[in-house]
Amino acid sequence: MASTLEKFIHSLDLRALPRVLQIQSGIYCQGSVYEMFGNECSLSTGEVIKVIGFKINKLIASICEKNEVSQFSDKVELPLNFPGLYKIVADKTPYASIEEIVRKVSIGPTRFGHPCFYSAKDINLANLTIKHDEQITFNSVEEVHGTMAVNCVVVRNNQPHSFTLPLSQEGEFYECEDDQIYTLKEIAEWKIPKCRNRIVKLANTLHMWESSNRLPENFNGCLSLMPIYKVQAVMKSRKDIIHILSDLDVEVKDVTDCYDISSFLQPLSLEDIFERTSKEFPMVAEIVEGPSGSQKPYNLLSTGKEIVIHKKDQAARVLASEMRSDPSKRHYLIPMSYKGKFKRRPREFPTAYDLEIAKSEKEHLHVVATKAFTSPHKELCSVSVGDQFLVQQCQTSEVLYEGRKKLIDALACEQILSDSYKKVLLPMYMEGGFVEVIHDKKQYHLSEICKEFHLPFNVKVSVRDLSIEKDVLAAAPGLQFEEEITDSYLLISSASSPEESWEIPVYRSDMLVHLLSKDVQTVVPPVTRTTVEEISKEEYYMLRRYENLTFHPPPRPPKKPT
């Protein structure tokens, strides 16, 4: 049965891709030629295309009154980077089953991908009864004993209770109220269910845009958002990827079941290549959609170029940020092969607890107080601005509190006086401020810092890496090494000049390739080039978010006795 492209894409599950569509009818500008994002293509009636991906490109916003779309409201286009923070209005339309929720709602590993619902009736499980109106958090979808199910959690008396719900579970499920605030981009990527619009309320306006020129007239703070998708597709007559907006006025029919998908070009992402076994490497491929970016090596990987993918691997990188507080702060991933050298820069510590974490056996941590603190206990030391301390170790101390003796955690230090040292105890809960005093003039390689010191660690480039054409780190006023991560990459070289290869990150390169049935001629392993990679703010936060999932968070600093 034919439907509009918009209706088809809005109802399509990403997990059902690829799909083969036949163009049934439509209205075309300039005959049958359609141009979008620099790709011009003919979409004539009867044409067959293979849809390989889609993502939200922009949002159409309308004013809402009493959570209903206003009949006379103007519609405006909002880009995903439109400023402002928004709260989500819970959808009042119920879902009829867990399967419908999984099909229409984004569920994933980040905090955005944990939607909450409640059931209109009690759900009786083997070891647990879920009460009606009780908030259920959906964490992940997986196969349990041969049946697809959702891993769920309910919280009772501050205690989480885990259970699974099969996709076949039917009922009347409603979305819970959400008190979090989100950017439009976060809402577009995670919070708009398939086949439904999303109503949001403006929580905070960011003065970065002439928003009054964008929002509908008589805007009252409440908007209904409808997504417009950018569709990636392949045509039988072309070797490149075409991009089509979902609101293009064409009708399509899904003919996947009666069509040979293998007759189309088979574009693969770098993630698809990385999932292949090590025995399948090396391989020759043609780039059908090159990565964005003008710096090396991305400027060498243009569409139509043949490449050799030598192997897949993982390597340690250091996530670093410029030491500046303005919004233009830049973030980098630095390979361990970086040949420059660094000198230490003073670190700042907001609490005594941070001093305990940062101390090392290699040297005494020497700090100066930047904030005064008056101790409520005579057994513990008060601090004045300018006081200097050598940090030693954590220990317990007995203090008198309301006439009773009590044990609390304290940080043993030596206070530096004009001509002597004085042993003192600082309460671990102390909220003060300290700046490190650096005595070490040594220049360090990156691997030495990771081996000898705790991260985060502050540095400045003292000798730039001469093997890099332009060392972007050398211009930074200061860098904070935040954490060491493991990065997945493919080792790629040009088929025409395979003497040098580049480590191309798998999860940050929007690149598509088509495998060729050609033998790899290279016998001698190519010279591997690594580069300092500047990453966007979104990539930075995503790296920190996923990397930190594998670690337990550090314990909170002890609270001040009450």
Mean pLDDT of residues grouped by 10 in the chain (562 residues)?
88 85 67 47 79 89 74 78 87 94 87 91 91 94 89 92 94 94 88 90 59 62 89 80 85 89 84 89 90 73 89 93 85 94 92 85 88 84 92 84 80 90 86 88 93 90 90 92 92 85 88 86 71 86 57 48 54
Q: How far apart are CA 49 and CA 250, in angstroms?
A: 13
The last residue of a domain, from among 171, 204, 237 = 204
Judged on CB neighbours under 10 Å (0-12, 13-18, 19+), 20 is buried
Instruction: Print the SS3 string covering 318-350.
Output: EEEEECCCCCCCCEEEEECCCCCEEEECCCEEE
Taking a C-beta distance cutoff of 8 angstroms, is the pair 382, 373 a contact?
yes
Asked if the structure places residue 22 within a domain, the reply is: yes
- Vertex 472: Cα angle to 468 and 476 (nearest 5): 140
- For residues 431 and 371, state if they share a domain: yes
Place of tokens 């769920």: 152
Displacement of CA 333 from its chain's centroid (Å): 15
- For residues 53 and 118, state if they share a domain: no
Judged on CB neighbours under 10 Å (0-12, 13-18, 19+), 556 is exposed
DSSP state string for 512-546: EEEEE-------SPPEEE--PEEE-HHHHHHHHHH
Judged on CB neighbours under 10 Å (0-12, 13-18, 19+), 272 is middle
- For residues 176 and 212, state if they share a domain: no
Asked if the structure places residue 543 within a domain, the reply is: no
- For residues 85 and 160, state if they share a domain: yes
Asked if the structure places residue 473 within a domain, the reply is: no
Half-sphere exposure of 29 (CA within 13 A, CB side): 7
DSSP, res 126: S
Asked if the structure places residue 179 within a domain, the reply is: yes
Asked if the structure places residue 461 within a domain, the reply is: no
Q: Which distant-in-sequence residues (6+ apart) come within 8 Å of 558 by Cβ?
A: 353, 408, 409, 428, 429
Taking a C-beta distance cutoff of 8 angstroms, is the pair 438, 314 a contact?
no
Q: How far apart are CA 502 and CA 493, in angstroms?
A: 6
Look up the domain containing 411 and give its range. Answer: 348-436
The last residue of a domain, from among 386, 416, 436 = 436
- For residues 389 and 371, state if they share a domain: yes
- For residues 185 and 236, state if they share a domain: no
pLDDT of residue 207: 42
- Per-residue burial over 427-437, b if 16 or more Cβ lie within 10 Å, else e, is bbbbebbbebe
Count CB atoms within 10 A of the CB of residue 152: 22
- For residues 127 and 72, state if they share a domain: no
- For residues 209 and 111, state if they share a domain: no
Instruction: Tell whether the torsion through CA atoms of 247, 250, 255 and 260 is positive or negative.
Output: negative
- For residues 85 and 200, state if they share a domain: yes
- For residues 65 and 100, state if they share a domain: no
Measured CA distances, 224 to 74, 105, 184, 360 (Å): 11, 17, 12, 54
Does residue 15 sit in helix, strand or coil?
Answer: helix
Place of tokens 């390689």: 445
Count CB atoms within 10 A of the CB of residue 156: 10
CA torsion 454-458-460-465 (nearest 10°) is 40
Asked if the structure places residue 482 within a domain, the reply is: no
Taking a C-beta distance cutoff of 8 angstroms, is the pair 246, 58 a contact?
no
Number of domains in the chain: 3
Report the run of H or E that residue 136 belongs to, with start and end: strand 136-144
Displacement of CA 145 from its chain's centroid (Å): 31
- For residues 70 and 215, state if they share a domain: yes
Q: How far apart are CA 239 and CA 136, in angstroms?
A: 47
Query: pTM for the full model?
Result: 0.64
Q: How far apart are CA 557 and CA 64, in angstroms?
A: 45
Asked if the structure places residue 448 within a domain, the reply is: no
Q: Of 132, 220, 140, 141, which Cα lies nearest the Cα of 176?
A: 132
Beta strands in 428-531 (DSSP E): 431-436, 457-463, 479-494, 500-505, 512-516, 527-529
Could you tell me the CATH number of the domain that includes residue 383? 2.30.30.40
- For residues 213 and 173, state if they share a domain: no
Q: Of 249, 225, 187, which Cα lies nearest the Cα of 77?
A: 225
The last residue of a domain, from among 239, 266, 293 = 266
Asked if the structure places residue 332 within a domain, the reply is: no
pLDDT of residue 37: 46
